[in-house]
Chain A
Amino acid sequence: MVTVVHPNLSDTDAKMSARDVSVFYGEKKAIDNVSIDIPTKYVTAFIGPSGCGKSTFLRTLNRMNDTIPSARVEGEITLDGENIYSPKLDVVQLRARVGMVFQKPNPFPKSIYENIAYGPKIHGLAEGKDELDAVVEKSLRRAGLWEEVKDRLQDSGTALSGGQQQRLCIARAIAVDPEVILMDEPCSALDPIATAKIEELIDELNGRYAIVIVTHSMQQAARVSQRTAFFHLGKMVEYGRTSDIFTNPLEQRTQDYITGRYG
């Protein structure tokens, strides 16, 4: 079965491209032959039922699957035309360019300031205290957290509320000035108000970074994304403009999923 790509997709400026990507955990095939172009200027959502492989595929985009010893990737993934699985590529540089936000907020057990300063420090992006202060402030402002935490930058990042922690993690990712931000169900551990704030933030970041978001919530995909890919049983079933996927899906399985027949 081949992925159905909507014919009206006219994205020419793909930031990342996957060609015939398959992922194995040991003998088990978790992702089967996925090809997709991720646009520079839009938010792309991956939707699908649990266990369909959308998170696995997301993690191949910054090679986080490398940390799982049994995982193996076939096919080609490029960032600005450069193969990210090439042996010549420095995975550390790749992850600085393709940032990631996780399902559960995972601030380091350090101060708010140190959480943000972590990336710039290890990559040598800021020289001296003033520059570092500026990066921290800029990142927190972009993540919409500055006003809430500017008076307690030395407090522990883990002392913040769940929603604030997640925005801290987004600010942390922004601090190294990535080109792509991957978000793996960033709101699944948050209450509706915190979720709304994150969605608002994604809207603001849209355009500045290429954003890929995995989500369980179809409403969320409809609200924040312009492109949607539907995954099912390790395959990418359908890919198109979000409005088309939700109103005129070409595939029966997509239709069934978005109307709530399964998943």
Chain B
Amino acid sequence: MSPTLLLLLALGLGLAGWLAARARAWSFRRASPDGRLASLPSYHAWYVALWIVLPVVLFIAAWSAIAPGLVTQAVLASPAADQLPAFGFQRQTILNEARAVATGAAQGVFNPLANEFVEPYRQAIGKYNWIGIIVTVLIAFLGGVWAFLRLKPDFAARNRVEKIVMAILLGASLVAILTTLGIFVSLVFETIRFFGMVNPIDFLFGTHWGPDPMANAANPDASRYGAIPLFWGTLFIGAIIAMIVAIPLGLMSAIYLTQYANPKLRAWVKPALEILAGVPTVVYGYFAALTIAPAIRDFAISLGASSASSESALAAGLVMGVMIIPFVSSMADDSIAAVPQAMRDGSLAMGATTNETIRRVLVPAALPGIVAGVMLAVSRAIGETMIVVMAASTAANLSANPLESMTTVTVQIVAMLTGEGSFDHPATLSAFALGFVLFLVTLGLNFIALRVVKRFREAYE
């Protein structure tokens, strides 16, 4: 039985417990002289229902992780298992085929040997299904009965439910943190494997990038794994060109919207600007590749540049800058609008013009929010892939000429992972090392942004 069905079963049992507990609480209420309970009947009901559903959900989560392993073990214990190839790819294929037939996902098998395992699979799956159902019902029953027996007229079900809800919320917030940790760990292992093959110094400081996925994996040429051109491309496109576009435009639009625009215009322009953030980046990529890049090339040629390419860092950077304007302007807008009106009045009453007030009082007071917005935008820009793939090519060039084609860390990650090398080839593993560095850099940027915000938070009041 699939986890979904088990879950539905648990919810059904929970509903039964809910109704039973509520009926019980109502009977207390009728019996008590003043018609009052320590908690409302619905809290008694939720208390029992949660005690049924939560343990079952935990069990299902654990069971769906363990059960397939148990099934495989049972199958391997069958007499036919002796005929299986010892280890590796083939063995796995045969077992997978047999499983697919047994669960009805496939009609037949290519490998005749797999037929031997269909029946054992069927039996094992059936057996463990029943075990799963029985344990689910048992746990639900035990949890329900235990909780139900605790119901009394003066039972503080309300407070208990409060605590359970708090635990659920805590669990929800832990998921995000644990995921981050998981990402980190999975990156670290592959990165260490990569650094076992290519010296980290060569990787971090080498200036030539051109991994060959067809080369001998045992003895990689470390001089082809220099990531500096990628870091430079990322920095140049994401942090320099894009920011030159996004910071002034974002900041000025925020200032206009908070200080000069009348409320009607603001009500239209602000959401419109925020829609920019919702446009899929691949659409920006088209725009960059089909419109901006050729325009830049033609412009460069008309100025007399000889080596203008139709894929340029400038095109990718400009479009990326436009893409992140909403990040800068939205955060700047919020933090400028949050500066107390008293600051503005104080400055205007000194005889300052609106412009002086903005430059000398409002922007400095709103600086933490503005910096945070810029940091967010930078980490968004250096993680961006699609625009660069489409507009700036995959050629790793170490150049300060924005008309040159360039590539970034994320683009190379995609290129390496989808390349022709086997998974344990250093060219493929280099993607993890690149991802690891990128992760550290964005983490660092976010950390700095948080520190900046904290440092200046108490600026006013």
Contacts and interface: CB of A to CB of B under 8 A. Distances in A.
B178 to A, nearest CB: 39
Given A108-B365, A109-B460, A158-B459, A69 B262 contact: yes
A49 interface: no
Nearest to A90: B351
Given A64-B345, A169-B346, A119 B351 contact: yes
A62 B346 CA distance: 12
A158 B340 CA distance: 13
Interface string A101-132: 01010111110000000110011000000000
A156 B459 CA distance: 8
A172 B350 contact: yes
A109 B356 contact: no
A172 B345 CA distance: 13
A100 interface: yes
Contact of A106 (B342, B353, B360, B364): B342
A92 B347 CA distance: 11
A213 interface: no
B262 A95 contact: no
A211 interface: no
Contact of A99 (B350, B353, B360): B350
A109 B459 contact: yes
A208 B344 CA distance: 27
Interface in B332-389: 340, 342-353, 356, 360-361, 364-365
Number of chain A interface residues as a range: 20 to 34
A176 B458 CA distance: 28
A96 interface: yes
B154 interface: no
Contact of B351 (A102, A110, A123): A123
A62 B84 CA distance: 94
A136 to B, nearest CB: 14
A179 to B, nearest CB: 12
Contacts of B82: none
B350 A176 contact: yes
Number of chain B interface residues as a range: 20 to 34
Contacts of B347: 108, 118
B6 to A, nearest CB: 58
Given A158-B460, A158-B461, A122 B349 contact: no
B164 to A, nearest CB: 43
Nearest to B459: A109
A10 interface: no
B349 A62 contact: yes
A176 B342 contact: no
Contacts of A173: 349-350
A93 B351 CA distance: 6
Contacts of B458: 158
B338 to A, nearest CB: 12
Given A106-B340, A118-B360, A158-B459, A67 B351 contact: no
Interface string A158-178: 100000000001001100100
A110 B345 contact: no
A255 to B, nearest CB: 35
A62 B361 CA distance: 20
A242 to B, nearest CB: 26
Nearest to A93: B351
B141 to A, nearest CB: 62
B340 to A, nearest CB: 7
Contacts of A104: 342
B26 to A, nearest CB: 52
Interface string B414-430: 00000000000000000
A69 B346 CA distance: 18
A184 to B, nearest CB: 10
Contacts of A69: 262
Contacts of B459: 109, 156, 158
Nearest to A115: B346
Nearest to A172: B350
Interface of B: 262, 340, 342-353, 356, 360-361, 364-365, 458-461
In the A-B complex, list the 10 residue pairs whose CB atoms are closest, starting with the nearest. Answer: A96-B351, A106-B342, A109-B459, A95-B351, A100-B349, A106-B346, A109-B460, A119-B350, A92-B351, A109-B365
Given A67-B348, A94-B351, A122-B352, 6 more contacts: A67-B344, A95-B351, A109-B460, A110-B364, A119-B351, A123-B351
24 contacts: A62-B349, A64-B348, A67-B348, A92-B351, A95-B350, A96-B350, A100-B349, A102-B342, A102-B345, A104-B342, A106-B340, A106-B346, A107-B346, A108-B361, A109-B343, A109-B365, A109-B459, A118-B352, A119-B350, A122-B360, A158-B460, A158-B461, A173-B350, A176-B351
